[in-house]
Amino acid sequence: MTLPLLASVTRWYCPNCRKQDVTTEKGPHTRFHACPRLCGLMAPMLPVGTKAKVYAVEREDYVGREAVQLDPERRRPIQTVVTVRDDGQDAIMFAPAARLDVRSD
Amino acid sequence: MAFGTSSKVFVATIEDVMEQTALFDFNTHSFKVALYGNSGTPSQTAASADTAYNVGAWITANELYDGAEWAQAGQVLDSPTFVAATNVITFDAADETSVGTSASMANIYGVLIYDDTLAAPVADQGVCYLYTGDTTVTNGTLTVKFNASGIFTITL
């Protein structure tokens, strides 16, 4: 008996810039892209048919010498990209680097 | 009490490494990232014992987790690297994503990075903590995306 190998195809779109893409990866996964409507930040794409809002949250705390994520266009500090769906909310947290600088110069 | 707004390497950890009090091995040990709310107050100058998971500011009462989606005690860092280039030493790892698609955790303010292999003199001793800002996931996926500079850097 011959069994057909079925390809797993997922179609994605971005609710902000309308970019579309297709993946054939098996198992749960997320597609990211540098979204021009989010100043070039890496933002998740959504499976076609999923209604959601994707937006970036600027860091409102003092940055000081923290190595934070900046949006590539405006150079504003970003702490989170949030995806709000009808049935939940995803988040990408941008963790700063902890820096220890022992230079004397 | 609040998490604060800073990301720091623990001073005691650096001291312990240099004095060989704690035998950290950033190339071979297993490190974890655990999530915390705004209840504890991390201190860069905490004693070695107080940097550890489930001690001091890092007690489980302050921790955020969600069963199998993001386990209590945190997730193991994947593909850790420890590299020295010119005058900068960098510890980094792959971004960490919750296991399933239905995680619910409210008001995450930061993470603790600790050595899960180290058993003595302080078990699960902390390495650094990172302030991420107030973040909530509901029936979804959480990704901790580490900075392009790494998890921590030491510039000499």
- In SS3 terms, chain A reads as CCCCCCCCCEEEECCCCCCEEEECCCCCCCCEEEEHHHCCEEEECEECCCCEEEEEEECCCCCCCCECEECCCCCCEEEEEEEEECCEEEEEEEECEEEEECCCC
Given a cut of 60, whether residue B150 has pLDDT beyond it is yes
Interchain CB distance below 8 Å, A66 and B7: yes
Sign of the CA dihedral with A34 first, then A40, A42, and A45 last? negative
Distance CA A34, CA B86 (A): 30
Beta bridge partners of B113: B33, B128
Length of chain B: 156
Q: How many other CB atoms are found less than 10 A from the CB of residue B131? A: 23
Whole-number average pLDDT of chain A? 89
pLDDT band at A105 (very low <50, low <70, confident <90, very high): low
Q: B27-40, pLDDT tens digit by residue? A: 999 999 999 999 99
The domain spans of chain B are 8-155
How near does any CA of chain A get to the CA of B102, in Å?
8
* Structural domains of chain A, count: 1
Residues of B in contact with A85 (CB under 8 A): 140
Distance CA B47, CA B125 (A): 10
User: Tell me, what's the pLDDT at B28?
Assistant: 95
Q: A10-37, pLDDT tens digit by residue? A: 999 999 999 999 998 877 777 899 999 9
Identify whether A104 is part of a domain.
no
Identity of the residue in A90, A96, A99 whose CB atom sits nearest the CB atom of B137:
A90
User: Tell me, what's the pLDDT at B1?
Assistant: 65
Residues of B in contact with A79 (CB under 8 A): 132-133, 135
Phi, psi of B81 (to 5 degrees): -135, 145
Given a cut of 70, whether residue B137 has pLDDT beyond it is yes
Q: C-alpha distances in angstroms, A63 versus A70, B85, B148? A: 11, 26, 16
Structural domain of A41: 10-93
Query: What's the gap between Cα B35 and its chain centre?
Result: 8
Listed residue (B141, B143, B97, B77) closest to A93, CA to CA: B143
Distance CA B7, CA B132 (A): 9
Identify whether A5 is part of a domain.
no
Identify whether A46 is part of a domain.
yes
Q: What is the ipTM of this complex?
A: 0.93
pLDDT band at B121 (very low <50, low <70, confident <90, very high): very high
Q: Give mean pLDDT, residues A53-61.
A: 94
Inform me whether the C-beta atom of residue B143 falls under 8 Å from chain A C-beta atoms.
yes
- Please identify among residues 42-101 of chain B the ones whose CB lies closer than 8 Å to any CB of chain A: 87, 97, 100-101
